Chain A
């Protein structure tokens, strides 16, 4: 890929975004241990170069839809850490009023269209979001994200076919972190180079190194450009890695400690920091201050969540229908 130059501002923003995601989720993991956060909680830690590189390549009016591993993506898209933490707590001040929890981050303001729990369901939905953009001739695209496991759902093939036939402005992104729960990619298919699935539909498709934020940005920018010009979908298989277990209770017997350590050596926080220091975009002091600022932001988010009320029982009957006087059975 032709190396594109990125400026100081971009690097500093990438680093800030990735550090916020990392520290926010480290705290979320601890809070889960303290049972402040319940249910399923899937951490994004390790995959932050994908969210950071993606967001710098997209415009605010572009849409994003993803699966349940959504905290990092929501934060990278600019959702504020208070509403995110409160949602993890199930508090009324959360982004989905405490009704969605970890798996269902949504922000209409940020064009972040969820957080979805059924593996693969968001793949056709993403094509549908893009359908609406095309219908309304907005020039916006929809980044539709899913895991390597989701790539085996039939919905992918149906959605790819229609998106390609109708030239929808959608970027399909498989975040291949090599495992779907305890199942490695090569155990789920004869085709373990997932990007090749695009070829069956003659959809432009390529693998991308998801540990390298520059590469993610470039691939996304090119795909978005195609979409905006009306040339239709692109499929990116972004290869990344989750350092933590699938969810919070995963003994991780399906992989070796060594493998995890090898990926941690390529950690995008380390490589981006090294680049910033080498280029003298910032000094050690800047990193220290940033750490403190982010720690303060996460502390504040936790305090906000702690001090917020849970929804009242009656609120169960709100947001089920738009119709305000819907006659519920009781």
Chain B
């Protein structure tokens, strides 16, 4: 996975002089999670830039550079720390085009790992897709495998609008097929990862693992789940989900973040509105607990969505 993200960034940097990478430990240390390994050697310190621990400042420098003709990739060591930078992402980057009446855009990618990664306790374990997806003016991508990571990262870098790109510490070592030749994956298109006609399961980022495992469990009992990876959270590919629901008549959403004001809430609303007549069961969702994440292993376990919960919800929706 880390190689796929690195290749996407490096290819785009070779292609476009205006693209540069900036963040904490990205250059000399080769990245806190080794995503940018070797990039300093190839591109030099003009284009692979170590920053101090100053998220608000360097995010703002990224926004200014983007307004003024460059195409920054700003890495956050994790999205938890980007909360300090959220003013620049939400107030500046997202709103620049409108405030300037279309004169100044902000072609920038903010990227980094997101969500829980073992026992990292309350401040280091959060999933923030819902927060940025709430903001008009931003596009939000959250990836689950190397192929998507590369294709979507390249699209994000080429996009004229600000893009929030979410990865995961615990998936950086994941392996997957990535073609030799260049490819792009369009922003805003979900991917049907597993076809099935009994129940639809929607997830993204590392919850895809939970969704796919649940589908495998269900298959053992003769239930065929269709599993959809949203890949892009905003704009959301409602059509792919709704087309699936028209076939299965049931929807389960798996989301790592807590349930209140969540992405699952948004998707549930649109599905009941647009596919009301096709639903044979209320839309179900399995979210992280309605609490911060705590350190103890038992509490991390208690927080996270589980395969067994997804299986139970799916069977419940089939009255089994």
Known contacts A181-B29, A254-B29, A311-B298; is-contact A317 B81 (Cβ 8 Å): no
- A320 sits at the interface (CB 8 A): yes
- Cβ A38 vs Cβ B297 within 8 A: yes
- Cβ B25 vs Cβ A183 within 8 A: yes
- B146 sits at the interface (CB 8 A): no
- Cβ B28 vs Cβ A182 within 8 A: yes
Contacts from A to B (Cβ < 8 Å): 38-40, 90-92, 96, 98-101, 103-104, 116-120, 149-150, 152-154, 180-183, 187-189, 253-254, 310-317, 320, 328-330
Total contacting residues, chain B, CB less than 8 A: 40
- Cβ A154 vs Cβ B56 within 8 A: yes
Kindly identify, within residues 223 to 281 of chain B, every residue whose CB is under 8 Å from any CB belonging to chain A: 258-260
- Cβ A98 vs Cβ B53 within 8 A: no
- B291 sits at the interface (CB 8 A): yes
Contacts from B to A (Cβ < 8 Å): 24-25, 28-29, 32, 50, 52-57, 80-81, 83-84, 118-124, 258-260, 287, 289-292, 294-299, 301-303
- Cβ B295 vs Cβ A101 within 8 A: yes
- Cβ A39 vs Cβ B118 within 8 A: yes
Which of B50, B53, B119, B290 has the most CB atoms of chain A within a 10 A radius of its CB?
Answer: B53
Complex Cα distance A328/B287, Å?
A: 13
With both beta carbons as reference points, the residue of chain A lying nearest to B32 in the complex is identified as A181
- Cβ B290 vs Cβ A90 within 8 A: no
Complex Cα distance A180/B298, Å?
A: 31
- Cβ A119 vs Cβ B28 within 8 A: no
Top 6 closest pairs, chain A to chain B, by CB = A101-B295, A152-B52, A90-B296, A313-B302, A182-B29, A39-B119
4 other A-B residue contacts (CB within 8 Å) besides A39-B119, A312-B298: A99-B294, A183-B24, A317-B291, A329-B259
- Cβ B52 vs Cβ A316 within 8 A: no
Complex Cα distance A20/B28, Å?
A: 36
- Cβ A187 vs Cβ B53 within 8 A: no
With both beta carbons as reference points, the residue of chain A lying nearest to B77 in the complex is identified as A181
Kindly identify which residue among B52, B83, B123, B259 contacts A183, using a CB–CB cutoff of 8 Å: B52
Complex Cα distance A189/B123, Å?
A: 27
Which residues in B have their C-beta under 8 angstroms from that of A330? 290
- Cβ B303 vs Cβ A316 within 8 A: yes
Complex Cα distance A154/B25, Å?
A: 18
Query: In the complex, what's the smallest C-beta–C-beta distance from B308 to chain A, in angstroms?
Result: 13
Which residues in B have their C-beta under 8 angstroms from that of A153? 53-55, 84
- Cβ A328 vs Cβ B290 within 8 A: yes
Kindly identify which residue among A149, A253, A316 contacts B294, using a CB–CB cutoff of 8 Å: A316
Which residues in A have their C-beta under 8 angstroms from that of B297? 38, 90, 310
- Cβ A316 vs Cβ B289 within 8 A: yes
Q: List 25 A-B contacts (CB under 8 A).
A: A38-B119, A39-B118, A39-B120, A39-B295, A90-B298, A92-B296, A96-B295, A98-B294, A98-B299, A100-B294, A103-B123, A103-B124, A104-B121, A117-B122, A149-B52, A153-B53, A153-B55, A154-B54, A182-B28, A183-B29, A254-B28, A313-B298, A314-B302, A320-B292, A329-B258
Known contacts A104-B121, A119-B81; is-contact A188 B52 (Cβ 8 Å): yes
